[in-house]
Amino acid sequence: MDLGSPLTVPHLLRASAPMPVLVGSDVLDRVERGRAYLRTVLADDERPVYGAKTGFGALVGFAGRATEADQSDNTLAHLGAGQGPDLPADIARAALLVRTWSLAQGLSGVSPHVVSGLAAMFATTFAPAIPRYGSVGASGDLIPLAYAAQALRGRGYAYLDGARLPAAEALASAGLEALRLDGRDALALVNGTSVTTAAAALALSSVRASHRALASLTCLLTDLLGADPGFADPRLVSAFGHPGATEVASWMRAVLDGTTPSGLRALQEPYSLRCSPQLLGAAEDALRYVDGVVAADLGGVSDNPLFFPGDDLVAHGGNFFGQPAAFAADVLTMVTATLGNLAERQLDLLVDPARNTGLPPMLAAGPGQQHGLQGVQLATTAFVAEIRRGVLPASTQSLPTNLHNQDVVPFGTQAALRAYDLAELLRMLCGSLALGLRQAVHVGARRPTAPRCAALLDALVAAIEPVDPDRPLDADVRVAAEVAVDGEW
């Protein structure tokens, strides 16, 4: 990617692997202008600059260290208080891409070599080791980003080719130079919501893929059972009045095109089928809100202070406050819970002989001698319970800290990381339903009558053997998720 172009979610998805990040002359010019202006301001004893001439946070009223190198050490050392397991490497690298793009806008006063050094990292597999716990997302992701900055300086730990190493060793093996930072560089690296934004963006991408897959799986379930697809009728759904429902029903009609009802089902299906355009449509409307927040975060500068050379302005404020992402990630988690519940209820419908148009219980090829999807259904119940346990909004849990300097905090980091975790469980719920649909045809469900439903089924059949006899199905659920959520059919 080019740092002179807009940053998008697909860029973050690609950042998990080596990728070129280009720093054009226009980017370097604006970064240099911001840096030169910072030098002018720092030379004026009458102009205060937070973090460059002062202490940090609640200690802003005290003078900082005497030298720029000491100020950098002071910035990062006191933030080395994180705990817990390391963040996944895809989040760590995506967070640094967000941070690099923000710094490249020239409003943070950083040294040009910092932007160039960060960009060079993306051509390698280097990823800083960042502990999960410690951020409140209020002055940005201070503690996690401090670990990232230290790793880029050759301190602490990092990953290279998936192996956890001392950071200095990882840098040397990757052919990277340790970053040289002064006080402003160090503060600019940590004073933004880049971890929150990255985790929210990756979670959004995953949930969106599962959402689209679940719409298609719902169509395949409708076709296999011989249900009437009239619940997606354009006149019916348009009268509902919600744009997301109208959009989702349009997708579903395209997948269901050609399906023929069997005439064996009741006049009205259970809500998990009949109300699926309305449920999936409400999720679509909510996901569009999250799309907008993530896009704004990716296109904004998250730092404090900001430097505007053309206006001779050093602006001290709160552009590091992660409330938008906190709300958005909480909404994303609620969507995940609702979609996960739908997938579990549809699997329950499919394995129940009282409601599945005569298929055997648990889709077992020989009930009693075999158990079909019984274990998978038990697991889906656990997945839904786990998702529900995590739905409590993080954005409402504000606690004052930092001597009441941070007297309100958004906890967006917690919301985003939780959304990232739960998105994976939603994938497994989609995979479980997809596996059930594949097995249903093996034990007596009809061949789909809609061509696109048949294509989805054929992709699942090609990837997964029928469950006959019983076998462990954990790997099959993952394969089914890859086909249904990630595949093109």
Q: Given the structure tokens 């933030």, which residue do they identify?
A: 79
Q: 195 Cβ partners below 8 Å, 6+ apart? A: 87, 91, 95, 130, 135, 141, 144, 145, 413, 416
CA 96 to chain CA centroid, nearest Å: 15
Q: What long-range pairs does 261-266 form, CB within 8 A, spacing at least 24?
A: 261/226, 261/227, 261/228, 261/229, 262/225, 262/226, 262/227, 262/357, 262/446, 263/226, 264/226, 264/357, 265/225, 265/226, 265/227, 265/228, 265/357
Quick check: 304 and 318 in contact, CB under 8 A?
yes
Helices and strands of the chain, counted as H and E runs:
18, 7
Residue 318 Cα distances to 47, 50, 63, 180, 303, angstroms: 19, 12, 21, 26, 8
φ and ψ at 460, to 5 degrees? -70, -45
159 carries an active-site annotation: no
* Cα distances (Å, whole numbers) of residue 433 to 79, 349, 462: 44, 10, 16
Question: Per the structure block, which two tokens stand in for 471?
Answer: 């076998």
Whole-number Å distance between alpha carbons of 206 and 91: 13
What is d(CA 258, CA 47) in angstroms, rounded to the nearest whole number? Answer: 72
The H or E element that residue 131 is part of is strand 131-133
Give the CA dihedral 41, 43, 48, 54, nearest 10 degrees: 120
**In whole angstroms, what is the distance from residue 195 CA to residue 141 CA?**
6
Among 233, 223, 232, residue whose Cα is nearest residue 260: 223
Contacts of 101 (CB under 8 A, 6+ apart): 3, 7, 298
Out of 37, 50, 157, 420, pick the active-site residue. Answer: 50
Question: What's the length of the chain?
Answer: 489
- Buried residues in 80-111 as b, exposed as e (16+ CB within 10 A): eebeeebbbbbbbbbbbbbbbbbbbbbbbbbb
Residue 94: CA atoms inside 13 Å, Cβ hemisphere, count?
27
Residues assigned a catalytic role: 50
